[in-house]
A and B are shown apart, each in its own frame.
Chain A
Amino acid sequence: MEIKRAVQAGTMQSSDLMVFIEPADELEIEIESTVKKQFEHLIRAQIEAALETFAICSGRIRVNDRGALDYAIAARLETGLRRACS
């Protein structure tokens, strides 16, 4: 699939995250998190898994995490990618 437009998903509330997605020529992933030091690698792995599920090779993915659990990260990425590709 292809990222066609700039979108966002999620909130800045505690236990949630904001996902910002926009078209780009290459794949760029940027992660900000209140627990970045401990969990950046796991958040990155979830982003990469979501991109693989949606077969996306390019685009700018920016995540601002407020301590979200795995299910919430997966959900916000899925919503953002669905919105961006629709």
Chain B
Amino acid sequence: MAEFRLRRSLLYVPGNMPSMLQNIPIFHSDCIMVDLEDAVPYSEKDAARVLVRQFLDSYRDHNKEIFVRINGLNTAWWEDDLRTILPALPDGIRLPEANGPELVEKLDTMLTEYEEELGLEIGHFKILPSIETAEGVINCIRTAKSSSRLIGLAFGAEDYTASLEIERTKGGEELFAARTRVVWACKAAGIQAIDTIFPDASDMEALERETRLIKTLGFSGKSLVNPRQIDVVHDVFRPKQEEVDYAL
């Protein structure tokens, strides 16, 4: 069982926007995921990773958990991402398109090499793989047990629905089977299940409904795209008084 840490809200912050990066200390999400992948245009990959490294260097005593979403292992950028940002000591790496355990194992090996080079304890850098394709969902039970660095699996519905050539709906019926399988994988491996983003940052009622649903399914938290979504998610995950009384 991985060491427990509260991860109800994992907020994405674009890696190439200083106005967002420098607000990280005051965002009250449990975790921040600085994004070097989808939020950054191809021509700005070099600039974003330097900006993130400089920001993290200025924020060494960070007051919340910091993950960096690197570019996928099938791109030309991920090795430069790691080389640039790991010396600034993020807590972990969010690995996109983790379609099978071999990708996590490949990243694990690289992280071990950097930990040795940087004089860090082996296992310092955690991994949060994204399960966001049909293949990833099929393999997620093995992926969940592929590294002791894993703190959880993060389901990604946008790319998942694209891989199925279907539309994502607000009701989320099309996601039920995949979400359930990701939760099974996580519970069997003793790690946390993190749900996908809810893309409509203006519809708080639908976000609350979806968060209640994923809590019921067994997820520990949710990826977020807007800081306004944090309170809604925290409210849903806050134990009711009768639950606290029962636990005591």
Contact = CB atoms under 8 A, between A and B. Distances in A.
Partners in one complex: yes
Q: Is the interface of B mostly helix, strand, loop or mixed?
A: helix
A13 B47 contact: no
Interface of A: 9-11, 13-16, 68-72, 74-76, 78-79, 82-83
Contacts, number: 49
Nearest to A10: B47
Given A71-B54, A71-B57, A71-B58, A76 B19 contact: no
A14 B21 CA distance: 12
Contact of B46 (A71, A74, A83): A83
A69 B18 contact: yes
Interface of B: 16-19, 21-22, 46-47, 50-51, 53-55, 57-58
A16 B47 CA distance: 12
Contacts of B55: 71-72, 75
Nearest to A70: B58
A70 B22 CA distance: 11
Contacts of A78: 50, 54
Nearest to A83: B46
Contacts of A76: 47, 51
Contacts of A11: 16
Contacts of B50: 75, 78-79, 82
Given A10-B47, A83-B46, A15 B22 contact: yes
